[in-house]
Amino acid sequence: MATPVLDAPPEGVERIIYRDTMVQGAPLQLAMDIYQPSGQSTAGAVLIWFHAGAFVSGSIQAPGHRSLARWLGGQGMTLVVPQYRLNADRSDLGPEVSDKLKALHKMRMPGFRKSLSAVKSLAALEDGLAALDWVESQRQSIGIDGKIVLGGSSAGAITALNMVHTAPFIGYLTPAVGGVISYSGGYPYPDLYRAGHVPVFAVHNPADDRVDIASIRQVAARDPLAELIEAPEQAHGAYFLSKGEPR
């Protein structure tokens, strides 16, 4: 399954092409949907949100993105939801990432699923960085005057954490971000994690059998800027207000 063809965006949502790339050897244009607060010419912070799907499925058209946009819009925030490549091959990766594959494989945390920390996840990292660069360069046209926050659910959360902590190891320079939000996510490379670099807010079901909680527990244990809510009622990849979560 390649990256899916998109339907028309919801009314009031701007869709732009932010990257020309390759997937499975074929050219591909990646889009992002921009949800801006209604009735405002400028927004404060922006959340760049990456969807779930284990790097093989999922879409920026997931219905939950509209609900998330409404919640954020009520706080004067913009939501940006970028596509990223699904089912990418090694040949789709840039040389900087390809050169680091063996080293990253050796650094992967024992027990972290290989399918969530191999080629497909690193293609998503490349796309996420391109999306971040685009948003940073278009602050004025979008009307953003606050911080950029990264977030996602499951594979999307892994992508957000990779953008902050794995990108420097590969050699990428990235714009500053104000924090990371992780729902049912994790980080596969503990030796690369930079504690105290950016705030992390995470919600995870301790019994999650898709993305084990161990890696995000390690993040919370070693990083004074990380907060983890262990929520048994949390469905994998879903996002809603959990018990004990500040309103």
pLDDT at 1 (0 to 100): 46
Identify the residue with better confidence: 179 or 245.
179
The Cα 156–Cα 212 span in angstroms is 15
pLDDT at 41 (0 to 100): 60
Please give the model's pTM, rounded to 2 decimal places: 0.94
The Cα 17–Cα 131 span in angstroms is 10
Averaged pLDDT for residues 173-194: 96
Averaged pLDDT for residues 15-44: 89
- For residue 101, report the phi and psi dihedrals to the nearest 5 degrees: -60, -45
Model confidence pLDDT, tens digit, residues 125-167 = 999 999 999 999 999 888 888 999 999 999 999 999 999 999 9
Q: What ranges in 114-226 are assigned the alpha helix state H?
A: 119-137, 139-142, 155-165, 167-170, 214-222
Residue 198 pLDDT > 60, yes or no? yes
Averaged pLDDT for residues 225-237: 92
Tell me the three state secondary structure of residue 57.
Answer: coil
pLDDT at 2 (0 to 100): 56
Determine the Cα angle at 164 with ends 161 and 170, to 5°: 110
Provide the percentage of residues in the chain whose pLDDT is more than 70: 93
The Cα 77–Cα 54 span in angstroms is 27
The Cα 190–Cα 218 span in angstroms is 8
Averaged pLDDT for residues 70-98: 95
pLDDT at 12 (0 to 100): 87
* pLDDT band, residue 3 (cuts 50/70/90): low
